[in-house]
Amino acid sequence: MPTARTAPKKTAASVDFDISVAEAEANDGERPKPFTVRLKSGKIITLKDPEALDWQVAADLNSVPPRLALESLVEESDFEDFFAERFSATTLRRLMASFADHYELLPPGE
């Protein structure tokens, strides 16, 4: 029977990346000011910071149609007002480009 002297010592597993530590560091870091949009009604809404999204959602932002991306970015409290807004595809493209520039996002495929 192993004694305290002969029993193997338990050592903590070596970890190369700690998600809890990375989350704390990311949340303490400086981020750009929130990206806001003024609707035709005058209401101002804020789109979510893509860095704060769940990783599965953020990973799909460049590969889904803009409407689906916006469904992830618009705050739930602003959802109805935003999606009731009518504007051209050109305006949508400019909105998305401005959002990407604001957060320094890479274009799809880069």
Q: Which residues, in sequence order, are CB contacts of 66 under 8 Å at separation 6+? A: 92, 93, 96
Give tens-digit pLDDT for 52-107: 899 888 888 878 888 889 999 999 999 999 999 999 999 999 999 999 899 988 66
Tell me the per-residue pLDDT of 20-58, one tens digit each, with 9 for 90 and over: 888 877 766 688 899 999 999 999 999 999 988 998 888
Structure tokens of 104?
Answer: 């320094």
The angle subtended at Cα 83 by Cα 87 and Cα 107, nearest 5°, is 70
